[in-house]
Copies of this chain bind each other. A is one copy, B any other.
Amino acid sequence: MLTYSFADIGSDSLYGHLYKCIKNDIIQGILRPGEKLPSKRSFAKNLGISVITIENAYEQLIAEGYIYSIPKKGFFIADLRNRTGEKQPDLTAESIQMNSGEMKYLADFGSNKAVCDQFPFTVWAKLLRECLHDFQEGLLISPPSGGALELRRSIAKHLLEFRGMNVAPEQIIIGAGTEYLYGQILQLIGPDKCYGVEDPGYRKISQVYESYGARCKYIEFKKDGIDISDLEEQKVQVAHISPSHHFPTGVVTPISKRYELLGWASKEKERYIIEDDYDSEFRLTGKPIPTMQSIDTMERVIFMNTFSKSIASTVRVSYMVLPKHLVNRYYKKLSFCTCPVTTFIQFGLARFIDEGYFEKHINRMRTYYRKQRDYLLELINASKMAPYVSISEEDAGLHFLLYLNITCPDEEFKRRMEKRRIHICALSEYYENPENKTEHYFVINYSSLNEEQIRKAVKQLSEEVLLVKAK
């Protein structure tokens, strides 16, 4: 009969040692497939250990598939293939871009990072502590797929007060970033539809749609928005636009164009407009413009916004407002989805809004951003490059366009600025269709910069402009 020594088992348990011995013999082929193992009782007697120990070792071997049991017959060795060697990952740092997003620049005009010293850390620490204390049970119950009712109510109230939008909490779907919502829309409306995105525009939109296999058309963004005739010609069914503040040009779509687009969408049943309202809170002059959602009587508009700009992108909360018939479709088709935002943040954010912190934060940030913008504009106008620049769309949100009267190609100018450790993006980079490109416009996103960075950036920018002018 099979015999193993229990003399030198170190810290192993008896059953653990026996398990290892048998497993080893199976792997090495000493015990052959189909071979019968001793019965528990006789094996225990032979080895001088308890039946329980044998039983435990056999159970572990069964669980791992090394042996199998046939009732009333006994235990047998399973048929294994050769076990292969242990795997060693040999990933090199170079093979993977694990950039942690840390600032490598003197100033980054492309970043959407929130300003660290303006973030209300203390308020959030307080609110999260309160929520963990007050809502224990609630925090552990899975919310509906559209998100916790508490947060949806807070957002509905906010939309009514600040955007004049009259929506039911049920129409609001919470997501972990707008990308998640693009994916939800795709599932809701169908990956077989043709999605139209603005050119130039926010590249990620088409990336998400395309990576799920949907067709995307790039629609030229003209002076005041996209043209209906282009949508018709390209057979677009879903138009994804940002009428309140187009990225990257900053253009606000006029109301006449908005009605035209609503007219286009109303013509056919499965046409929709996705209204991306991403930084409307930071319009710096005048009253906010009514959303397309609020003038849509045909249930064609899906409104979308995010707290990425108004709180921080790393909080990862966004939401969309669905028209009624899509709400019903959502619950029919996608109620199996689990809301991707942790309840901890959903409850915390609801309090942040309800207790007035959100409004205060936005007001403070608006003042802060206005000051930053004014400072930046003042420095540009006082700099030596002033005769060669012009500014546009500076009122609409957290970025504006800087036109440089130079002949140096955008790519080269960008590279030259990189050497000066200034990250700046040209408007031309955002075009898919090269025919539409306009050169020498640069997108100036100033929301992440402090005064020192602004000073340094303008100095470097001005020096470079004068250099390329002198060439």
Given the known inter-chain contacts A91-B171, A314-B343, A327-B96, please indicate yes or no for A336 contacting B256, CB distance below 8 A.
no
Report how many residues on chain A are interfacial, defined by Cβ distance under 8 Å.
Answer: 120
What residues on B are CB-neighbors of A144 within 8 Å?
97-101
What residues on B are CB-neighbors of A99 within 8 Å?
144
* Cβ B289 vs Cβ A143 within 8 A: no
List 9 tightest A-B contacts by C-beta distance, closest first. Answer: A65-B254, A65-B255, A176-B340, A60-B286, A81-B259, A314-B343, A187-B211, A125-B132, A191-B213
Stretch at the interface among A134-142, A226-234, A434-442: A134-142
A11 touches B (CB below 8 Å): no
Interface string of A92-104 (1 = CB under 8 A from B): 0001111111100
A295 touches B (CB below 8 Å): yes
* Cβ B324 vs Cβ A80 within 8 A: no
* Cβ B166 vs Cβ A87 within 8 A: yes
Closest Cβ neighbor of A149 among chain B residues:
B100
A162 touches B (CB below 8 Å): no
Given the known inter-chain contacts A136-B121, A337-B179, please indicate yes or no for A98 contacting B149, CB distance below 8 A.
yes
For residue A94, give the distance in angstroms from its CB to the closest CB of chain B.
11
Stretch at the interface among A112-120, A364-372, A378-386, A419-427: A112-120
A302 touches B (CB below 8 Å): no
Closest Cβ neighbor of A61 among chain B residues:
B286
A129 touches B (CB below 8 Å): yes
Which of A85, A177, A211, A335 has the most chain B CB within a 10 Å cutoff? Answer: A211
A297 touches B (CB below 8 Å): yes
What residues on B are CB-neighbors of A331 within 8 Å?
96-97
* Cβ A313 vs Cβ B16 within 8 A: no
A161 touches B (CB below 8 Å): no
A192 touches B (CB below 8 Å): yes
* Cβ B113 vs Cβ A121 within 8 A: no
* Cβ A114 vs Cβ B140 within 8 A: yes
A387 touches B (CB below 8 Å): no
What residues on B are CB-neighbors of A66 within 8 Å?
254-255
* Cβ B137 vs Cβ A121 within 8 A: no
* Cβ A168 vs Cβ B65 within 8 A: no
Given A65-B257, A342-B342; 4 other pairs, CB 8 A cutoff: A87-B166, A91-B171, A114-B140, A119-B136
A258 touches B (CB below 8 Å): yes
Taking CB atoms and an 8 Å cut-off, the chain A residues in 314-369 that contact chain B are: 314-317, 324, 327-328, 331, 333-345
- The 14 listed contacts between A and B (C-beta, < 8 Å) are A56-B285, A64-B252, A64-B255, A78-B255, A91-B327, A100-B143, A101-B142, A113-B140, A116-B137, A116-B140, A139-B312, A179-B338, A204-B336, A316-B341
What residues on B are CB-neighbors of A396 within 8 Å?
63
* Cβ B263 vs Cβ A81 within 8 A: yes
Closest Cβ neighbor of A115 among chain B residues:
B140
* Cβ B140 vs Cβ A129 within 8 A: no
Which of A100, A141, A289 has the most chain B CB within a 10 Å cutoff? Answer: A141
Given the known inter-chain contacts A59-B286, A121-B132, please indicate yes or no for A141 contacting B113, CB distance below 8 A.
yes
For residue A448, give the distance in angstroms from its CB to the closest CB of chain B.
9
Give Cα A345 to B344, complex, Å. Answer: 9
Given the known inter-chain contacts A63-B286, A63-B289, A286-B59, please indicate yes or no for A294 contacting B136, CB distance below 8 A.
no
A170 touches B (CB below 8 Å): yes
What residues on B are CB-neighbors of A255 within 8 Å?
64-66, 78, 80
Given the known inter-chain contacts A100-B144, A100-B149, A149-B98, please indicate yes or no for A256 contacting B125, CB distance below 8 A.
no
What is A's interface to B at a CB cutoff of 8 Å?
A: 16, 19, 56, 59-60, 62-66, 68, 78-81, 83-91, 95-102, 113-114, 116, 119, 121, 124-125, 128-129, 132-133, 136-137, 139-144, 146, 148-149, 166-168, 170-171, 176-177, 179-180, 183, 186-187, 191-192, 203-204, 207-208, 211-213, 224, 252-260, 263, 285-287, 289-290, 294-297, 312-317, 324, 327-328, 331, 333-345, 395-396
What residues on B are CB-neighbors of A338 within 8 Å?
177, 179, 313, 316
For residue A280, give the distance in angstroms from its CB to the closest CB of chain B.
12
* Cβ B327 vs Cβ A342 within 8 A: no
Give Cα A133 to B328, complex, Å. Answer: 43
* Cβ B65 vs Cβ A253 within 8 A: yes
Which of A64, A85, A99, A113 has the most chain B CB within a 10 Å cutoff? Answer: A64
Given the known inter-chain contacts A119-B136, A129-B125, please indicate yes or no for A297 contacting B85, CB distance below 8 A.
yes
Given the known inter-chain contacts A170-B96, A255-B65, please indicate yes or no for A342 contacting B315, CB distance below 8 A.
yes
